Structure 1
Amino acid sequence: MSELPKQQEKKGAAAGLDDAQARAVAGQGPAHLPDFTPSTLGTMGIELELMVLDRLTFDLFPAAPDILRVLDQHDKPWVHTPEITTSMLEVATSILQSFGEAAEQLEHIRSTVQRAAFEVGAAISGGGAHPFQRWNQQRIYPKERYFESERKYGYLAKLFTVFGMHVHIGAGTADEAVRLCAWLTQRAPLFVALSANSPCWQGEVSGFCSSRSNVVGAFPMSGIQPHDLRSWQDFRDYFNRLAGFGIVNSIKDFYWDVRPKPEYGTIELRVLDTPLKPVYAAALACYARELCLEFAAQPGKWPSNGSRELYTWNRFNAAHDGVEGNWIDPETALSMPIAQVIRTDLARLAQRSTDPGFAQACKVIEDLLQEGGQAGWLRRHLTAGGGMNDLARIASELFEDAGQPV
C-alpha cells in the first residue's frame, strides 16, 4: 500500500481524498478518478465488515453509532468507520507486511471492538450474512453518501446489509494494478469458497455455502474488470466513458470482485464473507498477497482467458458448494476440486514466500478446508437441531473468542 502518513489512511473524506474526490464518492459532484498513488508491491491491508448484535436475541442491533463513538476515544493504528446501515461497522488495518503482523493487529481489533460493544450493550460477530435478520427492518446510517445510495439503489441499499472482508494488496504502479487485477480475478472464486460461512438468508436455509455472494450481483456495476483493459490509461478511458453516461461517479461505483483502488495504490479483493475468526482473515489475506507476488514475478504476462461466463460459473460453484466444489482453470480448461487447487497453490507459494509466518497461514487455511469449511460447521449445528438464534449466538462467540481456530 502507499507510503502515506497515517492520517492519510483514513477513509471517506478523511481518507486522503480531496474535496472533489469526497463529493464524487458521495455522488454530489462531477465524476472523479484520482491518480494512482505509487506503492510498495506486496504490502497489504484488511477491511472487515462486522455485525452488531443484540446480546439477548442475537438479532442485528442498530448500535453501530454508539460503538463508533466509544472507539473514537481510542488511540490505535487501525481505522473504524460506519457502514451503510446502523447494524454494521467496518474496521481497517494499517499497512501490513506479514501474517504475524496481520494476526496481531486483527486480534487487537477484535478485543478492542468487543469491549466497545459490551459498553453499549451489544455483541460483535463475523459471518457473511446474518441468519435471520430482515432487510426491511434495517436503518440507513445517517451519512449523506449512504442516503445517496438509498436514493440511487432503492431497497438494494438495505438489502446490502451483508458483511464482507476486503483485502488490499500494494500493486506498485498503475499499469501493474490493472494486470494484477486480471490475474487475481481468475482465482477470486477460491476465496469465495474458503471464506464461505453464510448458509442462511432471511431466516431460511439458502442451499448455498455463501448466500452473501448472491447479493452483490444485483448492483449494475458488479462483476469483473473487462478483459480488454490492459493499462491504467485503458481503465481511465473506460471510467470516463461510463462517467459521461452518468453511470459512475467514483471508483466506489465499481462493485467488481477485484478492482483497483488508486488512492491507496492497491488492488482490492472483495469477494470474501467476513471470517468467523480474525486469524482466518489474516491467513486468507496472506494467500492473496502471495498470489499477487507470484503474478508480479511474471512481468508482462496476461491471462489468456477472460471469459465472463466461465468466471461466473466458477463463482457460482464456489458460493454454492464452498470448499467441496469444483473450479475450472481458465488457463487449462481442466475442472479440479477447489480444495486440490488451493493445496497446490499453497505448496507452490510456500516454496517462494519470504513471510516467516506463511507456513502458519497455510495451516490455518488447511483448517478451513476440513469438513466443509466454516459453512459446513454451521450447517452441522443446524442439522443437530440448533435454531437460527443459536447459530447467530455461536458465530458471535466464535468471533469474540481469542482462542485457536475451530
Structure 2
Amino acid sequence: MTKHKILLIIGGGIAAYKALELIRRAQDRGYEVTVIMTKAAEQFVTPLSVSTLAKGKLYANLFDPHEEMDVGHIRLSRQADIVVIAPATADLMAKMAHGLADDLATATLLANDRPVLIAPGMNPKMWDHPAAKRNRAQLAEDGVHFVGPTSGEMAEANEAGTGRMAEPAAILDAVDGLLRPSQHGLLSGKHVLITAGPTHEPIDPVRYIANRSSGKQGYAIAAAAHAAGAEVTLVTGPVHLNAPEGVEVVAVETARQMKQAVVDALPADIAIMCAAVADWRTASAADQKQKKDGSGTPPVLELTENPDILHHVAREADPRPALVIGFAAETDHLIEHATAKRLRKGCDWLVANDVSQEGVMGGDTNSVHLIRDQGIDAWPKADKQAVANRLVSEIIQHFQ
C-alpha cells in the first residue's frame, strides 16, 4: 500500500497529549507523519517528545530563516496527502474560518490544497457558542472534514458535555476513509445503486408530506463510491445539492417514483438504500389547494402505505445485488429497532443512526452503527463524507 503522508498540526488544548499517541498509531498504520506545533501546543506537550516520535519532522516557526528559505509553509502542505489538526481549538478554528495566517500553522493551512481533517477539542460551552457554530459552519462549507467531538467528562472540574477530542484510532479511521478508498479503484467494474434524500408525497398542489433528510449522506456515499472506481447510479429525492461528479443522477419526487427508478436501474452489484422514504402517502391527493373553511376543523387525510423499496431490492429483485445495505433512522432503542429492521427487510448490512440528536438530519455530521451478521460496529461521530468513505472502505474489504 502506498505510504501516505500526514501533516499533523497540534493545537494548544489539553487534548494535545493525545497527539503523541496519534503519531505512533499513524506510523503503525503505515503513514509518514510530519508535525507543526503551535506556540500554545508547546504549553501542553514538549517539542522534544513530539520530535522524537515524529523522527525529527517537527516545525514550529514561520520565520525560521533556514526552513523558510524554500518557503517552508508552502512546501509542508504540498508534501502531504492530508492535513490533520488535532486538537483543533476554538481559536485555531476561528483563524481558519476567517483566513488568518499569523503563524506557521495557519499560514500553511491558507496555502494548502490538500484535504483537511479537523478533530475539535474544547470546553462544551465553547463548542456551543454561537461564534464557534458560525466558524464550523463556514469550515464545513469550505470543504473541511470533521471527526468528533465526542461527549464526556472534561478536564475542568464538574464539566461535561460535547467537546472531547476524538480518540486517535477514530481520527485515523477518518483519515483512512478520506485517503485510501479514493486512490485504489477497488470497486472498478462494480455497479453501485444508491438512493438519497427525502420523498415528497403530495397532499394537494401546494402541500406535501416529507421529512428533514438533506440527502447529504447519500450524496457523500455516491461520491466515495465513484472515487473508488464504481459505476454509480444515484436515485435522489428533492434536495438542494450539486450532483457528484461522474455519477448518474435520477431525480424523483415520490416513493413510488423512487421505487420505479430503482427497478429501472437494476441490476446492480451493490445497493445502498440511504433515502429517507416516506412510510405513508395520502390515499388520493386533492386536485385543488385545500383551504380553511372557517369551521376550525382540519380536513381528514386518509393515508396509505408507500412501497417498501429496501424490502423489494433485498428480497424480490432478480438478480439480487450481491450486497444490499439499508439505513435506519431511529429516535429510540436504536440497536434493537435497527437489528429487527435488518432481519425484516432482508438486507445484508444496515447502517443505523440516532436522529433524535440535534443536527443529524440536515446536518453535516453523523454517528452511526454498522450492523452485520458478524456483529455491530459503533463508529465515532464524523462528517458525512468521512462516514461515506469509511463505508466504502468496508465494502471494498467485503469484496476482496
TM-score surpassing 0.5? Answer: no
Higher strand share: 2
Higher helix share: 1
* Band of TM-score, shorter chain: under 0.3
The structure with the largest alpha-carbon Rg is: 2
TM-score (norm 2): 0.26
Higher relative contact order (CA 8 A, sep 6+): 1
